[in-house]
Structure 1
């Protein structure tokens, strides 16, 4: 039966509106799946050269300068800049302490950013910078303010921080001698936002409000932190955090103690969906290269020194998480809530830990105990599919096999973790789309004798191999009790 004139006209009107919306965003681009009609549609291409006004939506990635003292030139930053730009990241937040090599590395980073069409800005780490010395902060901002790769919002020089709530901001601005867009990681309680241009929330993981995993009586979501910061800032821009994971396990071999996990599981996917709905002014990925806290999305091969985290980062790439972010970043910048329109290629991303959470490493572990929050992790293998048409997904985790109908679009699946090989098969009718195994088996033996709750993240089709180099493995054996592992 032919459609009524009314329904036909409505359909036409919606089509025209969509075409107008797409043309206003960008010119024609590669085809991607349109979930409404099951066909291919024009992808709104990311706008490469946007005005960095106060209304621009920008994505940053937190980059630790403190672990890259071994970089010898600006060229050592090029691969990071190109990789970040390819997925839509606009700028690196260069987290700096007060190391002797800081200025040399900042110079390299600013030069590489300029050479690769990226932006950067300084993020002061107030674990090392003195909050009582605002003049030093202002002078450091001034030192790099005129660099062509310096991120600016309008004419204001962008700068941020980790911690630093009690900095005398007017004194800092006076010392800088330039107009500063100051958006620090200031606490949204007990302080005033009057002297700030915006603020970064570091609470990217479900927590108990005191930097540990949630408890029955204290359970705070990342979104509750969003609400707190937005209410505190009012109309000022908010930098929303996005992070895939958190596990740190520094033990007695170092002078500090860090031994906890936050429950993450499918956090990366859920958080990006939340970002598309809440539409914050800025987003900051935590982090690009913090291997010590296991929330890196940059490559293991990104040149860096070893702070001891190689014990849980070795052979544990996270590149698939960065691949996952691409359609969400593009949708965020376009003001869209449907990331499926921005899928540039079909892929399957999976992740899992090396052992079940109950494995016992007592007596061999360098930190001595399981990390706080370990019992809140799911013993699961996680899979996210990015598809242009419906398919059938089969996941085998040890002796556990599950088969799912995987629809077109972006969909998450979860399978009970089993000991042994982890394999994945995606078929469309009789045709195999993806087939492969994780290089990491799940075992009930502690890897190198330690508790390791980091995630192995893989992609099908698999990309290039990614591994730590000799500098990144320099501290691998320090503190290991097990004699069975070598770097």
Structure 2
């Protein structure tokens, strides 16, 4: 009755990459490359995606070193990801030359015999890739996330061989979902054969680089655990994964080692302080061998039990926000204050061999894990209030898993600003080799949720193994739960409002779970036993709200009130000087005319938060507030 989620999808060719910022390596020598490659190999990562900026002076020197170093490893590769946003777009001839220069290297990653190539953005140069592919023979899977899945796949007469999404972080204080991933699967599935999807996986995001107009964070609570659960539960599973990132310290999502030589972004980006100093993330690699084997093979094994703990060392109300926002108006997102919207929590994930019988796990003071694996063997996860950090202990068998954790900071050493980065610690102990009791192919979803009005029905259907990623988000996997015996007779089930997005869910509830549960969904105006007139929602029911109206606020009301009224109706409504007064679906953007602009009043406390640049680029540039 409940169908397993994991159809085979060319599992022999699955691969896991890590996004690597080449511009951090100006001082690298060959042994530095070898050291980083060795750490990635230990985590069972297959290749580095080398992000390269146009015009970087050390570009080919470091590419030469990297490809020389990787020759020492038979099971690790490299490929180039052309960054079209970091320092302007790439010229077609230069892209062609670089791919041809390195594609024959022994350490270059190839897919179906073709040299692999990717991008960060660059959809405006999509037509270039018709000739680039013809002249290099590359397999091309770009990140053109700014156009969305369906927009990206149709560029340049479908020049892409697959697509990579950069949407690896949740919106606001919500948990990570898979709606964007589902849209990519749907778009790529329209080709015959299906084109592969490269799914993003990231543990965190915080950046404070005002020189690059970047100062925001996305919610990282539970993100690393949740995202890997989503990888294992997505149907169809992605052909490739890309971990964001190995060494992007400026955005705080690094899983590679700390390195004082790689912190130039803080200088050039005008960071108020170095927010990665003494903040290791190595622990996030600890469980990758287990997870990557589960993804590739459907099973795993380990002779080591381990615990990973991640938390922020500065509580949200101890210091100022540093003007950091949760979400960013630069991506037309509704902004929040992280101090008011995010909880102070600690995330704990443990790989345990058998917490049953005479073996135990102690999660104090909560007393239980939030998520446990099928049969109790594998990854366990819990989120606790940060105040309980000092009380946490975990044990498996007779030996406690000891972990020394630095305390929460009670002062504000960083210019009185909160460091929104995470501290990650881990420890491990030897164990008799263990494996999951059943392969992934025999497991189904056992819990889940949905956005907005989809939540009640997704929570119900996911519990019984029906959790379509087009409507729901799966949060745990395990043995199928039989339908309840008290559900009543099967009855027809249709969307209450005629929206086809509810179709499969209502059909499952009413026909599989029975009339009792169908009536409950009918009382919530989700399902109906009679077919309704089809209807199409004006906007996607899975989208978060966007700002569609606003005004100036506080001291800036007089200077920027007109600008806020203009920009907020298009979703660009920075909370530092604007107040959003209305929300709705994604607002159509005004025509781009270019030119840019900046505020007439300067200084750290009087910045226009990008209002003039946004407005002037779109033809509205009041001289009372802006200069060009």
Band the TM-score falls in, shorter-chain normalisation: 0.7 to 0.9
Out of 53, 57, 62, the position equivalent to 1:105 is 62
Q: What does residue 279 of structure 2 align with?
A: 316
The alpha-carbon distance between structure 1 residues 303 and 112, as it changes in their structure 2 partners (threshold 3 A), is: farther
Report the 3-state secondary structure (helix = DSSP H, G, I; strand = E; otherwise coil) of the residue aligned with 2:348. strand
Query: Where do residues 405-484 of structure 1 align in structure 2 (5 Å cutoff)?
Result: 407-418=376-387, 422=390, 424-428=392-396, 431-439=398-406, 441-448=407-414, 449-461=416-428
Query: How far apart are the structure 2 equivalents of 1:388 and 1:82?
Result: 27
Following superposition, which runs of at least 4 residues in structure 1 exceed 6 angstroms of deviation? none
For the Cα contact (< 8 Å) 1:288–1:298, is it kept in 2? yes
Matches within 5 A, 1:39-438: 56-71=13-28, 73-98=29-54, 99-117=56-74, 118-128=76-86, 130-131=88-89, 133-167=91-125, 168=127, 169-174=129-134, 177-186=135-144, 187=147, 188-191=149-152, 192=154, 194-207=158-171, 213=172, 221-234=176-189, 235-251=194-210, 255-278=211-234, 279-301=237-259, 303-308=261-266, 311-334=274-297, 336=298, 341-361=300-320, 365=322, 368=323, 372=327, 373=336, 374=338, 375-390=340-355, 391-394=359-362, 401-404=365-368, 407-418=376-387, 422=390, 424-428=392-396, 431-438=398-405
Structure 1 gap segments, 5+ residues each: 1-52, 208-212, 463-487
State the superposition RMSD in angstroms: 2.7
SS of 1:404's partner is: coil
Give the distance between the partners of 1:195 and 1:350, measured in 2 at CA.
43
Q: Which range moved further: 224-233 or 188-197?
A: 188-197
* Alpha-carbon offset, residue 55 of structure 1: 5.5
Question: CA separation of 1:85/1:275 partners in 2, compared to 1, >3 Å: closer, same or farther?
Answer: same
* SS of residue in 1 equivalent to 2:411: coil
1:204-243 per-residue CA deviation (whole Å, 9 max, x = no partner) reads 0113xxxxx47xxxx7954111111122222101100001
Between Structure 1 and Structure 2, how many residues are aligned?
A: 382
Deviation at 1:150, TM superposition (A): 0.8
Distance of aligned partners of 1:221 and 1:232 in 2 relative to their CA distance in 1, 3 Å threshold: farther
Q: CA deviation at 1:424?
A: 3.8
Please list the CA deviations of residues 399-441 of structure 1 after superposition, one character each: whole Å capped at 9, or x if unmatched. Answer: xx4443785421111221128x735422346x333123302x1
- Following the alignment from structure 2 to structure 1, what is the Cα–Cα distance between the partners of residues 142 and 260? 26
- In 2 relative to 1, CA 232–408 (structure 1 residues): closer, same or farther, beyond 3 Å? closer
Cα distance change, pair 360–304 in 1 and its aligned pair in 2 (3 A): closer
Q: 1:428 to 1:281 in 2, by over 3 A?
A: closer
Note closer, same or farther for the CA distance 1:139–1:408 as it changes in structure 2 (3 Å cut): same
Contact kept in structure 2, 1:185 and 1:202, CA below 8 Å:
yes
SS in structure 2 at match of 1:312:
coil
SS across alignment from 1:437 = coil
Distance 1:298 1:145 in 2: 26
User: CA offset at residue 54 of structure 1?
Assistant: 9.8
SS at match of 2:401: strand
Task: Describe the superposition over 1:48-74 as per-residue Cα deviations: whole angstroms up to 9, x where unpaired.
Answer: xxxxx9960000000000111111x22
Distance verdict in 2 for CA 1:296–1:75, change over 3 Å: same
Contact 1:137-1:172 at 8 Å conserved across structures: yes
8 Å CA contact 1:393, 1:424 repeated in 2: no
Mark the structure with the bigger radius of gyration. Answer: 2
In structure 1, how many angstroms separate the alpha carbons of the residues matched to 2:113 and 2:260? 32
CA distance in structure 2 between the partners assigned to 1:370 and 1:260 by the alignment: 5
Deviations 1:442-461 (A, max 9, x none): 13423422221111110124
Alpha carbons of 1:423 and 1:147: their partners in 2 closer, same or farther (altered >3 Å)?
Answer: farther
- Give the SS at the match of 2:159: coil
Does structure 2 conserve the Cα–Cα contact (< 8 Å) formed by 1:392 and 1:428? Answer: yes
Point out which structure has higher relative CO (alpha carbons under 8 A, 6+ apart): 1
Instruction: Report Cα offsets for 1:128-182 as digits up to 9, x if no partner.
Output: 46547322212221121111111111221110010011322112224xx321101
For 2:382 and 2:175, how far apart are their aligned partners in 1? 25
Query: Per the alignment, do residues 155 and 443 of structure 1 end up closer, same or farther by CA in structure 2, a change over 3 Å counting?
Result: same
CA 1:302–1:59 in 2, change beyond 3 Å: closer, same or farther?
Answer: farther
1:331 Cα offset (Å): 1.2
Q: Distance in 2 between matches of 1:122 and 1:411?
A: 36
Whether the 8 Å contact between 1:54 and 1:154 is mirrored in structure 2 is no
What is the Cα deviation at residue 369 of structure 1? 5.1
Deviates more, 1:410-419 or 1:224-233: 410-419
How far the C-alpha of 1:342 sits from its partner, in A, is 2.7
Q: Flag the 1:447–1:326 CA change in 2: closer, same or farther, 3 A.
A: farther
Calculate the TM-score normalised by the size of structure 1: 0.72
SS in 1 for 2:182: helix
SS at match of 2:198: strand
CA positional deviation for 1:201: 0.2
Structure 2: stretches of 5+ with no match in the other structure? 1-9, 328-335, 430-628
Whether contact under 8 Å (1:356, 1:379) holds in the other structure is yes
